[in-house]
Structure 1
Amino acid sequence: MKASKLMIDNTLKYNKGLDILKQSPFRITKQRKDLLAYLSKFETTYIPVTEVDAYMQKLYPNASHTTTYRNIKEFSDLGIIEQRTEDGQLNVKFQCDFVTPHHGHFFCQNCHRVIKLDATLAPKLQADLAQFVILTVKLEIFGLCDNCQKNQAS
């Protein structure tokens, strides 16, 4: 992807997150905007929260770790970011689908790229569970992405 297109995509993602934040009860602070801008770069990969905190500590050396973790939780509650725990470590990424927040992911075990899956593509499963109320869907599939398969074949 060309640098200018990437910058436009990141700006659009950032603006969508900022719009959601503006509609929330939370104040728009410089620190939250900087955190949002940083996280908007991570739509296709998860990043450990400790790395996010380290980045924010470089920008705001006097800020508490608690502030960063609280802001991450607030962003997650608002649906701006997605969270998952792997090996006991909390990881986050920017929301890849603001229209369909209940979706799945394919995780490449080699390059760690994350690809959004439409979890609503499971009508048989939904039919089998028709008597139940589904509150959330967490679909995770692990394997090798197309790029890694090509690289291994060559």
Structure 2
Amino acid sequence: MEKQIPAIEHAWHILKEKGYKYTKKREALLFYLAQKNRYLPARKVYDEMSEQFPGYSYDTIYRNLHDFSDLGILEKTDLNGEMQFRFHCQHHGIGEHHHHFICSVCGKTKELDACPMDIFEEQLAGCKIEGHRFEIYGRCEECQ
């Protein structure tokens, strides 16, 4: 495998901590997602991985994507009625709270600095907000 990417190193630390074993297939899957750095549907990930590893089943890839998401390695979103995955931004060096613009065609993302929750906190006095998700969908410059 090529030069180790910090996001992959961090992902392996999490996986080892949770008892997952190293496999070349998992490493290739992580490397592919880190390189793409955009939301991708499981089918596209499967197409790429099955070229590298004939016999790598769709179910195994799908299960790994969900496991990695549950562990906080990947983010997932429902884009055009299909679950899509990408490396969690914290693993790309963006640690601050932020939201995304997501291209509905290619899945490319742009980080947004502003958080609309500030407006809602005033309206929810006495409530404890435990989390939220805010995404804007549209077409990026290349897909218009």
What TM-score comes out, normalization by structure 2 length? 0.77
CA distance in 2, matches of 1:115, 1:141: 10
Q: How many residues align?
A: 139
User: Structure 1, residues 69-125: CA drift from partner, whole Å, max 9, x if none?
Assistant: 11111100011111111222121111112545x642123467753112356563332
- Distance verdict in 2 for CA 1:109–1:34, change over 3 Å: closer
Q: Distance in 2 between matches of 1:58 and 1:110?
A: 23
What is the rounded CA distance, in whole Å, between the counterparts of 1:82 and 1:72 in structure 2? 9
Q: What is the identity, as a one-letter code, of the residue corresponding to 1:82? A: E
- Helix, strand or coil for the counterpart of 2:75? strand
1:73 aligns with 2:66: yes
> Structure 1: any 5+ residue segments left out of the alignment?
1-6
Aligned pairs for 1:34-73 within 5 A: 34-43=28-37, 45-73=38-66
How far is 1:15 from its partner?
Answer: 1.6
* Equivalent residue in structure 2 for 1:138, among 117, 133, 136: 133
Deviations 1:46-70 (A, max 9, x none): 1121010111111221222211111
Indicate the residue corresponding to 1:26 in structure 2.
20
Gaps of 5+ in 2: none
Off by >4 Å, runs of 4+ in structure 1: 108-112, 118-121
Could you say which structure has the higher helix fraction? 1
User: Distance between the aligned counterparts of 1:16 and 1:29, measured in 2?
Assistant: 16
Aligned to 1:4: none
Partner of 1:107: 102
Letter in 1 for 2:81: G
Work out the CA distance in 1 between the residues paired with 2:125 and 2:21: 41
Which amino acid is 1:134 matched to? I
Q: Per the alignment, do residues 103 and 23 of structure 1 end up closer, same or farther by CA in structure 2, a change over 3 Å counting? A: farther
Whole-angstrom CA distance in 2 between matches of 1:97 and 1:74? 17
Letter in 2 for 1:87: N
Give distance in 1, aligned partners of 2:28 and 2:15. 13
> How high is the TM-score relative to the length of structure 1?
0.73
Alpha-carbon distance in structure 1 between the residues aligned to 2:107 and 2:53: 29
The percent of aligned pairs where both chains have the same amino acid is: 34
Within 2, Cα distance between the matches of 1:129 and 1:85? 27
The answer to whether the 8 A contact 1:80-1:95 is kept is yes
